Structure 1
Amino acid sequence: MFPGATADPSAPAYTVVGAPLDVSTSFRPGTRFGPERVRRFAGTFEDYDRATDQSFSTLGVADRGDVHAWTDAEEYLDYLTSVCREVVRDGATPLVLGGEHTVSLAPVRALDPEVVVVCDAHLDLREAYDGDPWSHSTVTRHALDTADEAVILGARSGSEAEWERADAADVTVVEPAAVAEWTPPAAFADRDVYLSVDVDAADPAYAPGTGTPEPYGLTSRELRDVVRAVAPHAAGFDVVEVNDRDDGQAATLAAKLLRDFVFAHADANADTDASDGAD
């Protein structure tokens, strides 16, 4: 169980879903261990968040556990999508722990957002990789089958064809040096948004435990700021691509980002509820 996920699972505000898919990693495998490691390294955090004056254990988070993965990624995604749809039907915000980035397609399909915001070192706009159309390097292209627009923050790697695809009107790329100054557009207030964090968006100095580390990335603080800025607009969240190839740095960062999402999302919703009540 994710530490502090103490809500009644029959009526949660947020539901953690582990998705330990690990079939297409192109360099260092191990994402099957990601959900367990994220939960484990979250155990050292204080329950209280001073920035929002909230305690994580009081925000209605439940943990559904892991959805056991198998080798057919397309079939697994169909099943994981059905799980995420159940979460949404129950009135909860899905919080997915990967697993390789491919798993992000399940909550995207379940929520059907207009905009997908992705923190990622890689564009992930390929048609296929090594002949695999469901590779983790195709996830943002697949997400655009559902969403109208993708905003990719921190990208610094991609094939020539991917960079050409990124020039299209439905893709916005914010390269690492510009992320600190980026803020969600005002239009996000009126659009359905989903937030996905591939932990390799962070520089490997902060999160070495990932499958395809890429230097010159974001700081952990920059990722925190993005998550807290986008969370009030988002209907769901995932953090993916954590593996077991470090001493817990990537898992610790991923766990903290999940908590940051919940704190910022709950705080914004509390403000909205208070305003509605005043009316």
Structure 2
Amino acid sequence: MLFGIPHSEKPNLYLLGILWDNSSSFRRGCAEGPRAIREATSEELYNSFNELLINLAEHWSYKDLGDINADTFRELVEKVNKTVKEHYSGELFLFLGGDHSITYATFKAIKEASKKDFGLIYFDAHPDMYPEYEGDKYSHACTVRRLVEEGLVKGENVVQIGIRAPTREQVKFAEEHGIRIVSASEIYRSPKVDIPFERAYLSFDMDVLDPAFAPGVGNPEPGGLSTRELVEVIKSLNAEIVAFDIVELNPKYDYKGISAFAAAKIIREVLGKAALMR
């Protein structure tokens, strides 16, 4: 599994699946995402090199911590926090979701375990800055707002990429807190995004991609990035990666694994970039 990267009991890369889609607002099923992503990263399909010829097997060793499930979101946050703190001592974490609400739990856990500040680079079709959604303040539609309002990240240290379904209310919140929104149209014109902070957590909602490239998502939004455009954005990033997640992959609506293979491509290129930046 995982592109031929060796398994280790003393790894520098941890995987953790989070089987949570309770806040999915349209198509449920992304709790099955971790299984599909693990299958799609098989060394039977991929070699260990990324596009820049970084041999991931030379830079990384990994341990899969399995999956977390919970009955309530509060319980989920506590379980993620406990698991991360038990293992973290500077290693890179890859979290497999699950809907986008899991990023609240994972970002919080890494911040508390590392005791360091870092920014958030948020790849998504949607800004996820509603004050609440369907009565839920911790819905996947509220993740960025919760992180900012609760002081887990400063607004000026948030960059959102690929946005194409905002509301006036969310744009106003972004302007008031210094959050930078890079639209899908801007990426179409140029994939290079300058990041104003040195260390970052990366969060990839698979619906940042156009449904032609990732049909298996909870909330598809046409007019999105191509897989090639997203890879070029990843290559352009100039921040050290402290952790990253892949969320909202919904295998129930995927077609012949297209979305899962796109997720695998994202992971492989991020691991290559992270190896260069560490």
Shorter-normalised TM-score: what interval?
0.7 to 0.9
Match of 1:110, SS state, is: helix
Instruction: Indicate yes or no: 2:132 matched with 1:128.
Output: yes
Distance across 1 between alignment mates of 2:122 and 2:49: 25
Aligned counterparts, 1:59-138, within 5 A: 59-89=59-89, 91-112=90-111, 113-138=117-142
**1:103 to partner: Cα distance:** 1.1
Whether the aligned pair in 1 keeps the contact of 2:215 and 2:259 (CA below 8 Å) is yes
Q: 2:273 aligns with which of 245, 264, 272?
A: 264
Match of 2:79, SS state, is: helix
Q: Is there any run of 5+ residues in structure 1 with no aligned partner, and where? A: 270-279
Whether the aligned pair in 2 keeps the contact of 1:121 and 1:214 (CA below 8 Å) is yes
Distance across 2 between alignment mates of 1:19 and 1:231: 28
**Residue deviations 1:216-237 (CA, integer Å, cap 9, x gap):** 1111111112223337522111
**1:7 to partner: Cα distance:** 2.8
The percent identity for this pair of structures is 28
Q: Which position in structure 2 is the counterpart of 1:24?
A: 23
| Cα separation, partners in 2 of 1:86 and 1:230, compared to 1, 3 Å | farther
Matching residue's letter, 1:142: R
How many residues are aligned here?
265
TM-score by length of 1: 0.87
| Cα separation, partners in 2 of 1:176 and 1:86, compared to 1, 3 Å | same
| Cα separation, partners in 2 of 1:56 and 1:186, compared to 1, 3 Å | closer
Deviates more, 1:228-237 or 1:102-111: 228-237
Matching residue's letter, 2:260: A
**1:184 to partner: Cα distance:** 4.2
Aligned counterparts, 1:1-279, within 5 A: 2-9=2-9, 11-43=10-42, 44-49=44-49, 51-89=51-89, 91-112=90-111, 113-144=117-148, 145=150, 146-148=152-154, 149-180=157-188, 181-185=190-194, 187-188=196-197, 191-230=198-237, 232-244=239-251, 245-247=253-255, 248-269=257-278
Deviates more, 1:239-248 or 1:177-186: 177-186
**Residue deviations 1:45-76 (CA, integer Å, cap 9, x gap):** 42232633333333323232433312301220
Distance across 2 between alignment mates of 1:138 and 1:129: 7
Matching residue's letter, 2:88: V
Whether the aligned pair in 2 keeps the contact of 1:67 and 1:80 (CA below 8 Å) is no
Deviates more, 1:175-184 or 1:234-243: 175-184
| Cα separation, partners in 2 of 1:237 and 1:230, compared to 1, 3 Å | farther
Matching residue's letter, 2:218: G
Distance across 2 between alignment mates of 1:231 and 1:50: 17
Q: Is there any run of 5+ residues in structure 2 with no aligned partner, and where? A: 112-116
**1:123 to partner: Cα distance:** 0.6
Q: CA RMSD in A?
A: 2.0
Distance across 2 between alignment mates of 1:4 and 1:226: 25
